[in-house]
């Protein structure tokens, strides 16, 4: 498959109503509004095609960039390519596509540590989202548990003074640690208690910011604390 042909197909699949939703969530104006099930039909035909994924992401079109994340072979992503992706990401891509691919790349922990120190809001947000994805798919024995505890304390100390998107993703990180890393569930709940309510401007969307205790409590009620996901992408 060639990038031009994929872009042409994506344009034909665009939905005006869904495009409006994506724009409300912060997608860049170059966006057709292709629903994810339609993208996955293309993905089923293409399979993992890393070279094509890189080309689609460079197109700057939101739909192509999202599809690129689904199509990429994460193991072949280099730190340089991840840096290029995060630099071009809009808010929804930073929190999803970039984070998912980074978490699956083998460089997730290292790049996330770098990104969360960035003074660029979306880069820092992508760093916290990468950590969220990482803990959801990585066995506990392969995680740096003391490092994660330090990050919980960092969130606790700085979340309320952090930029809007960073606050949102920090909150999600605490929930993810409590939900996916059983040895740190109590630490995450304690951090959530000290953090309290987190205020985030979600713009013209129906999104809500979940409370840490409530969100982790729902996972506990299902009996799935510590259960990992098979992969970060969706």
Q: Residue 58, CB half-sphere, CA atoms under 13 Å: how many?
A: 9
Res. 111: pLDDT tops 90: yes
Q: Are 91 and 67 in contact (CB under 8 A)?
A: no
Digit-coded pLDDT (tens) for 49-94: 899 999 999 999 999 999 999 999 999 999 999 999 999 999 999 9
Q: Where are the domains of the chain?
A: 109-234
**Which pLDDT tens digit goes with each residue over 125-184?**
999 999 999 999 999 999 999 999 999 999 999 999 999 999 999 999 999 999 999 999
pLDDT at 146: 98
**Which DSSP helix (H) or strand (E) runs through 122?**
helix 121-137
pLDDT reading at 234 higher than 90: no
Residues 9-58 pLDDT 10s = 999 999 999 999 999 999 999 999 999 999 999 999 988 889 999 999 99
What phi and psi, each to the nearest 5 degrees, are found at residue 232?
-85, -25
The pLDDT, as a whole number, for residue 19 is 98
pTM: 0.95
Average pLDDT, the chain: 96
Six-digit token string for 53 = 């994924």
Q: How confident is the model over 174-195, as a mean pLDDT? A: 98
Which are the contacts of 64, defined by CB distance < 8 A and separation ≥ 6? 3, 6, 7, 10, 56, 57
């Amino acid at each position: 498959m060639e990038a031009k042909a994929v872009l042409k197909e994506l344009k034909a699949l665009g939905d005006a109503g869904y495009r409006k939703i994506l724009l409300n969530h912060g997608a860049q104006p170059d966006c057709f509004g292709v629903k994810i099930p339609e993208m996955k039909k293309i993905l089923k035909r293409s399979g993992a095609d890393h070279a094509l994924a890189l080309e689609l992401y460079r197109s700057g079109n939101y739909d192509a960039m999202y599809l690129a994340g689904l199509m990429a072979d994460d193991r072949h992503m280099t730190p340089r390519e991840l840096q290029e992706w995060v630099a071009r990401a809009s808010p929804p891509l930073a929190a999803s596509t970039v984070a998912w691919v980074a978490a699956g790349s083998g460089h997730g922990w290292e790049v996330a540590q770098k990104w969360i120190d960035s003074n660029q809001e979306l880069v820092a947000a992508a760093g916290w989202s990468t950590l969220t994805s990482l803990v959801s798919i990585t066995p506990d024995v392969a995680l740096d548990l003391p490092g994660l505890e330090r990050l919980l304390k960092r969130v606790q100390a700085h979340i309320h003074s952090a930029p809007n998107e960073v606050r949102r993703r920090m909150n999600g990180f605490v929930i993810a640690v409590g939900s996916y890393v059983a040895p740190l569930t109590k630490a995450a709940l304690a951090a959530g208690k000290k953090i309290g309510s987190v205020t985030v401007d979600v713009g013209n969307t129906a999104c809500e910011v979940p409370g840490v205790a409530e969100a982790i409590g729902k996972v506990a009620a299902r009996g799935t604390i510590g259960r990992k996901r098979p992969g970060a992408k969706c």
